[in-house]
Amino acid sequence: MPRAASKALAARRGRRAISSGRGILLSRCRPETAVAWSRRGLSAVIVAPLEGWSVVMPSGPARARYPYDDAVASMAGRPAGVWMRPTLGFFQLGRQATVTVHPAAWRSVPRWAIWTPRDGLVPPVGLPGARPADLLTAAGLLGADSAQDSARDSARDSAKDAIRDSARDSSAASVASADSASVSADSAAASAVDSAVDSALDSALDSGAGTALPEREAAQRSQRLRDRLRDGRGDAITLLRDVLDLLDLPGAPLLSGDLDITDLPGARLVEPAARHARAFDRLVSEEARYRIEMEA
């Protein structure tokens, strides 16, 4: 992909790209899955395969209104889709470094590790904090345990129930008059749905599994990660590079600027439709009006 792609995009929009820093998302999903997720976002991004991961990086300003027009910050705050998880995010926001982890569990929420110079790791006010174990698990360095197995079963059951409910609602009339042959066909279809969901969820939830570390080495890596996050020396990019190294993840040259993502084989520019930003702006406005009414 030519490097001029993102410059042409900014020129067409007629305004300078607004960004507080740099950032990337890393997911074990296929690039096509990351592209589909990116098409529903607020800003143009580049998606590329990178050493077994799919990397997503902002490539232009967010189309939403202030204060959500920062492409890096808006990506940091956007939950990863279920088929992308587990996903890890690494963002430089001004002088601050932010690491996000999106666990594979069906109803999981993003967790945050926020670092500032001199202070090191600081509490993410109002947000769930990310532990070293969360980061290591998402990176595939900790093996699956019973909790993850339970999360997998819950995700599978929820997906099957949602698909069956949708099918039942859309075909209630025909089901009411179905004969025995139709019932048999429905049973076969339900079995096919079960098999498809099992396969898809196994692929999605196992996608983050890399080479798990031995227990003792995992404990040592967790402690090193905790110590590095608590250390306030250096700057945000240095911190993010160190965390990527401790997690055995690629992408450090993208954050430092030593590598342009458009130079990666298979990189593609994804531009979301403007309607997604308009819908987001409407939602923000409605929530603001609701808060004002509640406080009045």
Tens digits of per-residue pLDDT, 208-223? 445 788 999 999 999 9
Question: According to the model, what pLDDT value does residue 16 have?
Answer: 42
Q: Is the pLDDT of residue 141 over 90?
A: yes
Within 10 Å of residue 273's Cβ, how many Cβ atoms?
Answer: 12
Where residue 272 falls among pLDDT bands split at 50, 70, 90?
confident
Residue 124 and residue 113 in contact, taking contact as beta carbons nearer than 8 Å: yes
Indicate if the pLDDT at residue 126 is higher than 90: yes
At 64 the pLDDT is 57
- Work out the average pLDDT over 45-50: 96
pLDDT attached to residue 212: 84
Task: Give residues with Cβ within 8 angstroms of 48, minimum separation 6.
Answer: 31, 54, 55, 261, 264, 265, 266, 267, 268
pLDDT for residue 80 is more than 80: yes
The answer to whether residue 111 scores a pLDDT higher than 50 is: yes
Q: Out of 13-17, 30-34, 89-93, 151-155, pick the least confident.
A: 13-17
**Does pLDDT of 91 surpass 90?**
yes
H-type alpha helices, the chain? 4-13, 31-38, 71-77, 132-138, 146-170, 172-176, 180-206, 215-230, 236-246, 252-256, 274-295
Residue 190, pLDDT score: 43
